[in-house]
Structure 1
């Protein structure tokens, strides 16, 4: 490849652009059942509440992006009314609509966080629908809660948890923590002493109702350091999400002391989503060799402003430290929109920088390959590109 693709060509020709298939290094499963209009629209927001009276979640950057990119793949004009789109979706059926959308994403590998509850596809089912590959990212808090369900005291709990972490390290490509949701990122940075861990486990197990979440800061620190000990990449939710978190406690800069404490181990830390703190995350990726970053679901939720958000990340983050992800959950549309907005934003930026002489075409193509897939393949040890490479 000797020239950067034209801006408008990137989204539709990405699999054949010379860059190769994308690696979506953080996503979730797709719902297996059909959805009515309200159910569908609920996936277009991070809110866990209905829209305000007289409004709809379709009237958002993400809602407009879905209506721009998805209808043509189901045989409808772009920007068609939501009711028309959902009727066509029902006509095709859940499986067929998912296949049409997922196979058009240009994604060759999905790294799937399996910690969310609900009627969602497994990594294997997602791979089958997309005609490509999927790998598991294991959520630490889910491991702890499953171990607690079968434990009768701190000794059996901690033994079961240690075994579960080691087994997950053999089968998964990385770990994920939602400590940002359960407590916040302003945790003490060092591993908790064993006595504190045992006491915290006893307190939690004694007070825990069946299925109760782990929120104790000592146990959350123990989980983080258990994952660090494996050496596999550790994904950390940062930045915005649903109302279950406090956004002011999700700034990745709050992790600075933890980042410093982890550095001697060499364990890679991957900062997910990061918006609106993406410039701080880019700084951490710039100054610490084991820190990586993405803007994940921020691109889908910022829609036509995705190019600005990505440009702000690329101001400071080294190009070998930035990853692509969709954080898609529930709707196959979200994988398609996440991929289209990413390739459109990246293609537009690189075209602009090449045209003004700031970047050479060869450097633009090389940086695109790194961000789209190469960095993730190196970081997670993916052996070869998925189908379509």
Structure 2
């Protein structure tokens, strides 16, 4: 799995238990092929007729690396893999793959309110790890909008729920980039515009919130809570799901907001970021409160993941990088996220060792920082 030429100290550091600082629950029920395949695609959509999502970098990696954990030969055909998965049952598959990831703590985004997904506590039990909650602020807004009757109730409810949920969490998360892009006006919206937006929202509260004014109000309210409680705020950027257009999720578009947040001291963590991970690395290098990962990109680039990791290491300070798998839907995503992270970082470190740029002690120290140490510090674990 790791390059054979790595020194033992570096190998041990890479294989040490990880803190997965951003993941989701996985399905607890047995899945048909038509249910399984969209869950291994970043867009969450079925493959075109006559094709399969197994014919992708992620699908090839799944058959190579997950099959042996289910007692199959590497590269087992998709039909054989899925038949074995069904034979073992979802519970056993989840236990094998989540435990096999070698994670010591899962920080779980609980924004997907689906009873078929494992809770944060269940993720921990299946993976033999600790588990804590990351609160998705847009889900809080959805819950409040469904019960509020007038604007003042809506605004008071947002403030109260954000504070209450943050008290039980280790961080907050926003998907504002997927709702209106990251090129939003960074300033706090005016009171009048927020009240007007709240009235519009309550006239039709069912769809996900896309109003830029209310999204900005929600974000700034969350930032106030994060500052009060010493919590980081995660921003989803770049690759991952569908939104207003990939070009509008470039984290470089957050530069003005990062300027505004720097005096507040609220840690900001840029998630995934691919293909804009170099811009994210730049932001992490110039702003003391900005951190970065390339989580979702690594299992989806699979055999090419070392190149992505190498590009992140070009500029981002090593104390600013974190590991996440973005595990979601099926446990294979968590296992491959950890596996390709270790492979990619191991390959990148070996290149620096062979060039004489780094010592083995430096490489081991960086591996420990990115794998768990930085997350423990930022999230105060």
**TM bucket, shorter chain:** over 0.9
TM-score by length of 1: 0.93
Name the structure 1 match of 2:99: 103
Aligned: 1:165 with 2:162: yes
**Could you report, residue by residue, the CA deviation over 1:223-244 in whole angstroms, capped at 9, with x for unpaired residues?**
1111211221110110022233
Counterpart in 1 of 2:172?
A: 175
Q: What is the SS of the residue equivalent to 1:320?
A: helix
Q: For each residue in 1:68-114, what CA deviation from the matched residue of structure 2 results, as whole angstroms up to 9, or x when unmatched?
A: 11111111111111111111111111101110111111111111111
Instruction: Show the counterpart of 2:251.
Output: 252
Give 1:347's aligned residue: 346
> Could you tell me which residue of structure 2 aligns to residue 241 of structure 1?
240
- 1:117 Cα deviation from its structure 2 partner: 3.6
The match for 2:188 among 191, 197, 201 is 191
- Alpha-carbon distance between aligned partners in 1 of 2:140 and 2:5, rounded to the nearest angstrom: 43
Alignment-derived partner of residue 221 in structure 1: 216
User: Counterpart in 1 of 2:153?
Assistant: 156
SS at match of 1:237: strand
Q: TM-score, normalised on structure 2?
A: 0.94
CA distance in 1, matches of 2:148, 2:338: 42
Counterpart residue number, 2:19: 23
Matches within 5 A, 1:74-153: 74-118=70-114, 119-153=116-150
Q: Is the 8 A contact 1:19 1:368 kept in 2?
A: no
Q: Please list the CA deviations of residues 132-171 of structure 1 after superposition, one character each: whole Å capped at 9, or x if unmatched.
A: 1111000111111111111111111111110111112211
Query: What's the CA shift for 1:16?
Result: 5.5
Q: Show structure 1 runs of 5+ residues with no match.
A: 383-389
What per-residue deviation string (whole Å, max 9, x for no partner) do you get for residues 280-317 of structure 1? 00000000000001101000110111000010011000
Instruction: Give yes or no for contact 1:200–1:218 (8 Å, CA) kept in 2.
Output: yes
Counterpart of 2:275?
A: 276
Change (3 A) 1:14 1:64: farther
**Deviation at residue 351 of structure 1 after TM alignment:** 1.8
- Higher mean alpha-carbon deviation, 169-178 vs 15-24, is at 15-24
CA distance in 2, matches of 1:154, 1:347: 53
Q: How many residues align?
A: 374
In 2, Cα distance between equivalents of 1:236 and 1:18: 26
SS of 2:291's equivalent?
strand
Query: 1:202 — aligned with what?
Result: 199
- SS of 2:48's partner is coil
Distance change (3 Å), C-alpha of 1:9 and 1:360:
closer
- CA shift, 1:17, in A, is 4.6
The aligned residue for residue 37 of structure 1 is: 33
1-side partners of 2:91 and 2:157: how far apart? 37
Cα deviation digits, residues 1-31 of structure 1 (max 9, x gap)? xxxx962498xx9995576310111110010
Q: CA deviation at 1:356?
A: 2.1
CA distance in 2, matches of 1:246, 1:77: 40
CA distance, structure 1, for counterparts of residue 53 and residue 14 of structure 2: 36
CA distance in 2, matches of 1:342, 1:309: 10
Q: Which residue of 2 aligns with 1:385?
A: none
Match of 2:361 in 1: 362
